[in-house]
Amino acid sequence: MAAQIQPKPQTRTPVLLNKIEASQDVVNTAVIIPKEDGVISVSEDRTIRIWLKRDSGQYWPSVYHTMPGESSPLMTYWAIPRQQEWKILSDILSVFQEFILSEDYNKMTPAQTYQAHQGRVTVVLFVLEMEWVLSTGQDKNFTWHCSESGTQLGLYRTTAWVSGLQFDVETRHAFVGDYSGQVTILKLELDSCSLVTTFKGHTGNVTALCWDPVQRVLFSGSSDHSIIMWDIGGRKGTAIELQGHNEKVQGLCYAPHSRQLISCSSDGGIVIWNMDVTRQETPEWLDSDSCQKCEQPFFWNFKQMWDSKKIGLRQHHCRKCGQAVCGKCSAKRSTIPLMGFEFEVRVCDSCHESITDEDRAPTATFHDSKHSIVYMHYEPTTGWLLTSGADKVVKLWDMTPVVS
């Protein structure tokens, strides 16, 4: 009897549902409309468009609004305040405008204008529970306004342009990521603000922030290709590094029901991280004048080179133990997924021997969106992901095959 051939297990991947290709310029921000097969997009051509899926299966704009002023990139944030009425916040230069979107998604009415900054607005965030509008600009000012009256409640001066902003309603903490690579935590009161602490871990500017209020964990993405998970709720100062992108991280979102982090980068990569595992902090890199394995001097250690009559070597570091080692003692490479290294990194010989096949089991899956992503938005109620690219295309993905 012939042996049965077992089918190969299929790799689960996101399913491309639809593409929206009618934009004349890059779509900087976009959002999936919950409970409605639609999308709101904002483009560099200064247009706000509401796209609804028609019977033909294609998306066509039900609203096409052009913002006044000079051609400038727009940043937006929107939410559903009350009675299923959409509030859209869109900025142009130093002003951002509030619009109310009708229940049938066919009309957008100007409601309020906020004169918030002296330079172009970089991030706008609406906090429904507080009725606050948080904003940052190139003038390095972080402001918060009352959305009901439009009155400015407070202002805080940041050290650099802010490129990421999140808010925790329970504690009234604002998380501010900037171009210097640091993340600042501010405590907001009704009309005052105090500095809590500052995190420094990125070597490039912060490009995205994501806050999980349940686990009380903050994720920050950067142009240095890395993601850092800051365990704020644990109160132990734990910071876990995630290395899985080859280019600048462009977006982060978290699926709390499955404890999975979704990240994307400018090269089109989408990575799904399993955060329901016990991860390890990367070690501090140790300082030494000679290799901590073979004791050969490094090239700046003139005294030992002279005494031993040996040529100095270049210094490296083992990513697992952090020891300073020479190239000969760290010639091997390995993935260390529980430390966040999904790509092979330099390890010393002894650490390489200690890493098992089980230790190398990946904790992330990698997918190609096939366009250079500039923005992403995840809608947890449907499991859909939206990506907008430098190719002026918006793509909608069903993520349920990979985000369980």
pLDDT digits (tens, 9 = 90+) for 179-238: 999 999 999 988 889 999 999 989 999 999 999 998 899 999 999 999 999 988 776 678
Contact (Cβ atoms closer than 8 angstroms) between residue 51 and residue 64: no
**Are residues 213 and 308 located together in one domain of the fold?**
no
**Are residues 254 and 310 located together in one domain of the fold?**
no
| pLDDT confidence of residue 316 | 87
CATH number of 178's domain: 2.130.10.10
In a domain, 292, yes or no: no
| pLDDT confidence of residue 93 | 57
**Are residues 94 and 21 located together in one domain of the fold?**
yes
Query: Residues 236, 241, 246, CA angle at the centre, nearest 5°?
Result: 165
In a domain, 283, yes or no: no
Contact (Cβ atoms closer than 8 angstroms) between residue 127 and residue 159: no
**Are residues 265 and 345 located together in one domain of the fold?**
no
CA distance 250 to 210: 12
DSSP-derived letter for residue 339 is G
The residue among 335 and 306 whose pLDDT is bigger is 335
**Are residues 321 and 377 located together in one domain of the fold?**
no
CATH number of 332's domain: 3.30.40.10
| pLDDT confidence of residue 2 | 39
Q: Could you list the residue range(s) of the whole structural domain that residue 113 is in?
A: 15-278+363-398
In a domain, 209, yes or no: yes
**Are residues 176 and 71 located together in one domain of the fold?**
yes
Q: Residue 274 in 3-state DSSP?
A: strand
Rounded average pLDDT over 245-265: 94
CA distance 323 to 284: 9
Nearest to 104 by CA among 84, 123, 89: 84
* Token digits of residue 25: 């310029």
- Residue 86, strand partner residues: 101
How much is the pTM? 0.85
**Are residues 67 and 187 located together in one domain of the fold?**
yes
| pLDDT confidence of residue 301 | 64
**Are residues 347 and 257 located together in one domain of the fold?**
no
In a domain, 76, yes or no: yes
CA distance 204 to 222: 6
Number of Cβ within 10 Å of residue 345's Cβ equals 18
Q: Give the model confidence (pLDDT) of 279-321 as tens digits.
A: 888 888 888 888 888 878 887 767 776 777 776 667 889 999 9
CA distance 345 to 334: 5
Contact (Cβ atoms closer than 8 angstroms) between residue 199 and residue 230: yes
Residue 239 CB contacts under 8 Å (≥ 6 apart), including other chains:
199, 201, 228, 229, 230, 231, 281
In a domain, 325, yes or no: yes
**Are residues 191 and 339 located together in one domain of the fold?**
no
**Run of H or E including 49:** strand 47-53
* Token digits of residue 9: 């297990």
**Are residues 204 and 229 located together in one domain of the fold?**
yes
In a domain, 87, yes or no: yes
**Are residues 341 and 248 located together in one domain of the fold?**
no
In a domain, 176, yes or no: yes
In a domain, 79, yes or no: yes
Query: Residues 355, 358, 362, CA angle at the centre, nearest 5°?
Result: 100
For the chain, the domain total comes to 2
CA distance 214 to 298: 47
**Are residues 251 and 337 located together in one domain of the fold?**
no
Lowest mean pLDDT among 54-58, 72-76, 107-111, 339-343: 72-76
Contact (Cβ atoms closer than 8 angstroms) between residue 210 and residue 253: yes
